[in-house]
Structure 1
Amino acid sequence: MTPADPHATSSSDALAGRLKRTELQNKHSSIPGRDIVQVLTEIPVGVESGWHTHPGEEVGYILAGTVEMKIAGQPSLTLHAGDPFLMPPGTPHNALDLGPDTGRMLSTYIVDPDQALASFVDTP
């Protein structure tokens, strides 16, 4: 498999139309039926990702900024640079950059390659 174009985004990633998303790598996993996709996401100050889900785990790390992570059925988390987070498969969530700078997060997804990486859902 050839390396992913570092400036490309997946056409099956609903968030790519709202946020700057750069796919860093996309490889088959040793877990049958799962790929590992790594994405750098930039969220401008005051912008929300919109409520969405992923078809597998999201293992994330805040590189810069302060992000409020709203998670369906749970209290919101305020994440700062250096904070990790884990989103279970299919869990609706919404990220809001609180500023004062652009939020940047690195997310590694362990997902079903036959489904969209991110899909918008109705507000829970």
Structure 2
Amino acid sequence: MKTSIIGLAMFITVISVVAPQAASAQTLQGTHRQELSRHNLGMPGYEEIQLRVDIDPGVTAPNHRHPGEEIIYVIEGTLEYRLEGKPPMTLKAGDVLFVPTGVVHSATNVGHTVAAELGTYIVPIGKPLVEVVK
């Protein structure tokens, strides 16, 4: 009996550690994220996170926001960005976009091939990186 209780406790502990990481690794269908870098900054309480995000043709990453700034560099393809309060803008490989803290935005791959961006985030440590907005 003691062995099964200890085993159950170990299982719950492992799940509580692994489940949040698995959830954060999930991607929306048609988008693929790869974390490239994560480091604490000299600015107390903040970190940088850098992701490569690939978006399949015709796919839209839904409205979302971040708890800090995002700098987007388009690596390949053509993406249409919609930022709250601004007209849509189309960016191609080599273009850069700055998204201020908390601004709701989305991106649509308007090309015929996979588009990719390099997203660099300056965010508070421990906060969820993305909040989907309905």
Q: TM-score, normalised by structure 2?
A: 0.79
Q: Name the CA shift for 1:26/1:81 in 2 (closer, same or farther; >3 Å).
A: same
Find the residue that maps to 1:51 and give its secondary structure: strand
Find the aligned partners of 2:126 and 2:23 in 1 and give their Cα distance: 12
1:23 aligns with 2:35: yes
Give the paired residue count. Answer: 113
Residue by residue over 1:15-37, the C-alpha shift from the partner in whole angstroms, topping out at 9 and shown as x without a partner, is: x3342000001100111111000
Deviation (angstroms), 1:46: 0.4
**Structure 1 alignment gaps of length 5 or more:** 1-8
Higher Rg: 2
Matches within 5 A, 1:4-15: 11-12=23-24
Find the residue that maps to 1:23 and give its secondary structure: strand
- Consecutive aligned runs of 4 or more in structure 1 exceeding 3 Å deviation: 9-14
**Larger helix percent:** 2
Find the aligned partners of 2:127 and 2:61 in 1 and give their Cα distance: 19
Residues 26 and 37, structure 1, Cα contact 8 Å, conserved in 2? yes
Deviation (angstroms), 1:92: 0.2
Find the residue that maps to 1:85 and give its secondary structure: strand
1:99 aligns with 2:111: yes
1:108 to 108, 115, 120: 120
Query: How big is the alpha-carbon RMSD for the aligned residues of Structure 1 and Structure 2?
Result: 1.6
Find the residue that maps to 1:49 and give its secondary structure: strand
**Structure 2 alignment gaps of length 5 or more:** 1-20
- The higher relative CO (CA closer than 8 Å, separation ≥ 6) is in 1
Find the aligned partners of 1:103 and 1:70 in 2 and give their Cα distance: 16
